[in-house]
Structure 1
């Protein structure tokens, strides 16, 4: 059996979909369906079982808990970068992850988990997987950073595979339930449909209007990296998962406009609540990913946005 925590979420459900395409259906999805809209991410998937996160956590240390699990994809987390309840975030993102890691280690089960590029903060020290580059600036980022630190401390004593993936700005199908936390591509598409105009932030942190840059990575590429590591159990460590090329929000907006064949851009004031906790620039250093043998190309914004909007707007089933 394969366990996918956060399996009804964005990346988790795409992982389950990709596993299904491989013929894998002996999958346990763990999630919290308080937001029932997430069920749409599971409706077309084939799984063996579903378990609520609270029940799953309560059973983790049970001696006979799931004897035949061969891998855990740990995607479940509070992913809101605007959440400042530190107790809640650390309980969900740090404590939960530690307990699950320790269970996997005791059973010699592969543990493949979601970290985040948010650990790099404003990026002023670069985007290498190195402590000198890491300076989280929001609570979500700190929880991910601290778990990576825990991995660094204990990994030498773990005999099974442990691999963490620092996702950069992931976009693609099955993110519609995320609301405000959905990708800018999702929101830009809806803005064009609703009023024919994409809204971008005015300049900040030395960047001109709409010229803040992120490393936008298509979800299929993120999933492919996860599955590559599943197929290469000898590889472990923490890796950046992005394209390796930052692109400005203006370019993303233009790609959405080009797909629709209409629309323009409106610049809006930078939100007060994001000042001091916003990444204006990210670009993954993927050299370590390449060094361990992952050599596939990543979709650029133009290609990825086109594929996503075909799906999002019903052009592809």
Structure 2
């Protein structure tokens, strides 16, 4: 009896919990150096002062290579009492797992064999072991709690939540998009900034991410909160990412009459522009951006789709979601923008090493 997934999916899950590649490397390095100073804690005797960090790293690499050539599942023997305990504590075994996962290809199958746990009555043969483990995790540390994602309003929250079910279904239980509709909260970029400040002041234990439009209005409204040095390490304030599609996008005004291709990254990148070229195409052409007010603070115009086009794009995307669900979660069409946003969310805490 076993649970299986791919190395890529497991890495992404660990990433969302803050176990980044840099953190894993630092944890393993720290423990290797710690053990190097006290050879008595190693199972294999060494001569104190002669064994260096590089030697231990080579030992780890050799062990990983042996695991990868094992006739069974590559990670079957990865247990804190087997190899990992020599270098990191049991409390950090996810760092060690992330370290190993970074050595193998994305499509490598990773298996957790649970038969022994059932035999030794460490787990029940009936029911979901995953659900039991998740319940225990959520009762412990913030690192085990879902990442809270704050958006500008209910539409962004609803569409991104639905999109994740299609593109990254294995991450759904690890991310909680705040539903503004359910909580009857006002939706706007100014409210988003206030919510970030409130979460920080309240000492919310979960890691939380505020992600806003990549347009002039959002960049202007979030300048102050993004420069706030008092925000905790558990918080990130970001915008939707740069997108190639938006580098030459049709715009109307203020340059003159007719359509002008312009780079609208950072100036008009609302969520709708990330929902796919297919849903943005109306009557054979990309729905154009209409330049609106000028922001003197940033020295650039703010742009947006017309309200009519915005609603049409949202409806088309909802149909694309519906179609993907009916086909068993197999997405068709352009999901480039959504993938870019999901990657931004997944890697939001890559700079956290502690």
Q: TM-score range, shorter-chain basis?
A: 0.3 to 0.5
If the length of structure 1 is used for normalisation, what is the TM-score? Answer: 0.33
Structure with larger Rg: 2
| Structure with a larger share of its residues in helix | 2
If the length of structure 2 is used for normalisation, what is the TM-score? Answer: 0.31
